[in-house]
Amino acid sequence: MSAPSTEYSVRALHGIPEVRPGDDLVKLIAAAGPELEDGDVLVVTSKIVSKAEGRIVRADDREAAIDAEAVRLVARRGPTRIVETRHGLVMAAAGVDASNTEPGTVLLLPEDPDASARALRAGLREALGVEVGVVVTDTFGRPWRNGLTDVGIGAAGVRVLDDLRGTTDVHGTPLGVTVVATADELAAAGELVKGKADGLPVAVVRGLPHVVTEEDGPGARALVRDASQDMFRLGTSEAIREAVTQRRTVREFTGEPVDGAAVRRAVAAAVTAPAPHHTTPWRFVLLESAGIRVRLLDAMRAAWVRDLRELSGFSEESIARRVRRGDVLYRAPYLVVPCLETSGAHEYPDAGRNAAEREMFVVAMGAGVQNLLVALAAEGLGSAWVSSTMFCREVVREVLDLPAGWDPMGTVAVGHAAAPPKQRPARQAGAFIEVR
Q: Which of 177, 197, 229 is the last residue of a domain?
A: 229
Residue range 2-54, pLDDT digits in tens: 567 789 999 999 999 999 999 999 999 999 999 999 999 999 999 999 999 99
Residue 358 belongs to some domain of the structure: yes
Question: Which alpha helices (H) appear in 379-406, and where do they start and end?
Answer: 393-400
Residue 235 belongs to some domain of the structure: no
Residues 17 and 28: beta-carbon distance below 8 Å = yes
Residue range 60-113, pLDDT digits in tens: 888 899 999 999 888 877 788 889 999 999 999 999 988 878 888 899 999 999
pLDDT of residue 306: 83
pTM of the model: 0.64
Count of domains for the chain? 2
For residues 311 and 369, state if they share a domain: yes
Residue 241 belongs to some domain of the structure: no
For residues 15 and 119, state if they share a domain: yes
Residue 285 phi, psi (nearest 5): -95, 120
Residues 132 and 140: beta-carbon distance below 8 Å = no
For residues 214 and 357, state if they share a domain: no
Residue 242 belongs to some domain of the structure: no
Residue 375 belongs to some domain of the structure: yes
Bridge partners, residue 283, by sequence: 339
For residues 158 and 223, state if they share a domain: yes
Q: Is 289 exposed, middle or buried (0-12, 13-18, 19+ CB in 10 A)?
A: exposed
For residues 87 and 210, state if they share a domain: yes
pLDDT of residue 10: 97
For residues 215 and 308, state if they share a domain: no
For residues 255 and 220, state if they share a domain: no
Residue range 295-352, pLDDT digits in tens: 999 999 888 888 777 766 777 888 777 777 668 899 999 999 999 999 999 999 999 9
For residues 202 and 323, state if they share a domain: no
| CATH number of the domain encompassing residue 118 | 3.30.1330.100
How many residues are listed for the chain in this entry? 436
Containing structural domain, residue 44: 9-229
Closest CA to 334 of 243, 411, 246: 411
Rounded CA gap, 229 and 423, in Å? Answer: 24
List, edge to edge, every strand of the sheet that includes 9-12: 9-12, 202-206, 41-45, 133-142, 145-156
pLDDT band at 124 (very low <50, low <70, confident <90, very high): very high
For residues 196 and 336, state if they share a domain: no
Residue 403 belongs to some domain of the structure: yes
Residue 17 belongs to some domain of the structure: yes
Q: Which of 175, 195, 229 is the last residue of a domain?
A: 229
Q: Which of 202, 229, 256 is the last residue of a domain?
A: 229
Closest CA to 338 of 376, 305, 307: 376
Positions of E strands within 173-214: 179-180, 202-206
Cβ-based neighbours of 164, under 8 Å, separated by 6 or more? 175, 178, 179, 180
